[in-house]
A and B are shown apart, each in its own frame.
Chain A
């Protein structure tokens, strides 16, 4: 009986020591963490409300600037009009709807775009022949369109007496709204 009692008492003593040391270690860790958090909180600067309001306004402006599905034909019409005005020949327009997978963006640029909440864009490829000066005017006019257009590549090759030009651009679109 005494032996069992001794074993039990030793076990109790061991348990108490273990628990006491565990609690002490937890308290030390908690204290260290809170000290660090307080130091971080002391030096952190909170952006002003004005700054935050500016962010919200910018976000809203971007979302309104994005192209809706209904605006795609208008955009293509604008392109064709500018091409005519600048005497482009053999104009070919090819457009393709693209959706960025948020989990697996194809490029780092796509990743950044997804982070802004934009997942859809129209990849437009233009091919035409023109004189050097016409091509220059056409490109200037397209880049100044009030649309969310990002020029990807412009290839200009000499094909005397004219130039062969290929332009790829991304036109960012709004999210599809449920019908």
Chain B
């Protein structure tokens, strides 16, 4: 729910207060109209505090629409400018507006509308200048109360804001609004929510009769209308609305048709109010509603203090810099970093807890499986050594009965065959190589003898495998006989046999 805000219209002899909150409609909670024309200025704060307490106002934030002193409103149409350029232009324009002799002046501006003229984007800006004492008076009044002052605007700007929020706007049509505030009358002309012209007319009613007052007011309105039409000849002025604290509002509205040629009416906006939270006398509120127009318009803001005219010293500049304030950015970044760290810390604590638990579980399981695996590894190593040892011991023993092997071979050797060389190689693989030669009168006999020998060796039970690394070499040679008989051919088979032992 939005915070409650007090809209206060401050004039020299009256303080009008309305307590609202901003929603789809303006929700009204309370109101008060304080007449302090007979109260000494230094006791007005006391009177204000008393009223706030007695009437049960709950809001602490206040927006003041005030009048008095030299206040000027000027509509400027400018192309989009940077913040710095805008500040410079507004400062220059405000100096132009300030009357000669004004000692200290405050200014504020508000971009009311953006439109295009001949394809060029332009901003319609309302510039307001005011004497500092007027703003100081408002600050002094509220500083001594329990209220916090967020914004000081002018009565015309507040009325204009109310019209922007409540009244329908016909295209290009101009409305005149007349608001009575104490001894001043504010006449403003607005087109589609943009203030074209504003005049403040001082009026000392004195003991003048109502009819005479009406005459004087009508004359002033005629002059103002004429002045407006001279300045804005193309404008279609067709309506005039009256608001404020004057008993002649109805009469003026009636006479405006015949005297000014405009449709006159009272400013009504009760349809735009949400009265579900209202406390107080509804009839009394309706009676005072026209008088509360400026107070309601002052408070009717989505973001009090940052939208609309704010004449409080430094507030306009603060708003200008709001988007580009490095300190603010740094603060936001710092806050975001804190949130990030908090989030990260939560994530860290959660993940650390899970990871630590998993590590503990893993360590516990390792303490069970690890020793068993280590024992298995050690025993596996012992087993491997034992196997090696067995193999080694086997190599040390009598791996072969050499006597029997050589004896068996001697039985297999044919008469035509002799061994040139026998070599036994030990180690892991035990094998015997036999190189020899078969010499026979004929090739057939030599081959037959070799085959007989080879088959016989293969049949011995001592060998795992018997192979020939290369085929036997068969040659013939002529041998001269000692008896000088003709040379006879002899067959020669050279062989090598490899016998592998188990």
A: residues with CB less than 8 A from B are 2-3, 5-6, 9-10, 12-13, 16-17, 19-21, 23-24, 26-28, 30-31, 33-34, 37-38, 40-41, 44-47, 51-52, 54-55, 58-59, 61-62, 65, 109, 112-113, 115-116, 132-133, 135-137, 139-141, 143-144, 148-158, 169, 172
Contact = CB atoms under 8 A, between A and B. Distances in A.
Contacts of B407: 133, 136
Interface residues of B, number: 65
Contact of A109 (B363, B401, B428): B428
B441 interface: no
Interface string B413-442: 000001111111111100000000000000
Given A6-B333, A112-B392, A152 B403 contact: no
B118 interface: no
Contact of B386 (A58, A141, A157): A58
A24 B351 contact: yes
Nearest to A29: B362
Nearest to A146: B397
Closest 9 CB pairs of A and B: A140-B403, A136-B406, A9-B337, A2-B330, A154-B424, A139-B402, A23-B355, A156-B422, A27-B358
B382 A55 contact: yes
Contacts of A139: 402-403, 406
A24 B344 CA distance: 15
B contacts with A: majority SS: helix
B396 interface: yes
Nearest to B390: A58
B421 A155 contact: yes
A55 B358 CA distance: 41
A10 B418 contact: no
Given A13-B341, A58-B386, A116-B392, A2 B402 contact: no
Given A38-B369, A155-B423, A115 B341 contact: no
Interface of B: 327, 330-331, 333-334, 337-338, 340-341, 344-345, 347-348, 351-352, 354-356, 358-359, 361-363, 365-366, 369-370, 372-373, 375-376, 379, 382-383, 385-386, 388-390, 392-393, 395-396, 398-407, 410, 418-428
Nearest to A2: B330
Given A16-B341, A34-B369, A152-B427, 14 more contacts: A2-B327, A10-B337, A31-B361, A52-B382, A65-B396, A112-B388, A140-B401, A143-B402, A153-B425, A154-B424, A156-B419, A156-B421, A158-B420, A169-B426
A34 B401 CA distance: 54
A113 B392 contact: yes
B423 A156 contact: yes
A109 B341 contact: no
Contacts of A47: 379, 382-383
A115 B388 contact: yes
B379 A41 contact: no
A30 B356 CA distance: 11
A136 B402 contact: yes
Contacts of B373: 37, 40-41, 44
Given A46-B375, A112-B388, A151-B424, A55 B356 contact: no
A5 to B, nearest CB: 5
B362 A27 contact: yes
18 contacts: A2-B331, A6-B330, A16-B348, A24-B355, A41-B376, A51-B383, A55-B385, A109-B427, A112-B388, A116-B385, A136-B402, A137-B403, A152-B425, A152-B427, A153-B424, A154-B423, A156-B419, A157-B421
A59 B354 contact: no
Contacts of A31: 358, 361-362
A150 B365 contact: no
B409 to A, nearest CB: 9
Given A2-B327, A152-B427, A158 B348 contact: no
B403 A41 contact: no
Contact of A158 (B361, B382, B406, B418): B418
A59 B392 CA distance: 11
Contacts of B390: 58
A150 B398 contact: no
Given A9-B337, A34-B362, A17 B424 contact: no
Contacts of A158: 418-421
Contacts of A169: 426
Contacts of A150: 395-396, 426
Contacts of A23: 351-352, 355-356, 359
Contacts of A136: 402-403, 405-407
B334 A115 contact: no
A176 to B, nearest CB: 20
Given A13-B340, A132-B410, A158-B420, A27 B333 contact: no
Contacts of B359: 23, 26-27, 30
A23 B349 CA distance: 11
A35 B365 CA distance: 9
A41 B372 contact: yes
Given A23-B352, A27-B354, A34-B362, A143 B399 contact: yes
B379 A46 contact: yes
B403 A148 contact: no
B139 to A, nearest CB: 30
A62 B397 CA distance: 12
Nearest to B358: A27
A2 B333 contact: yes
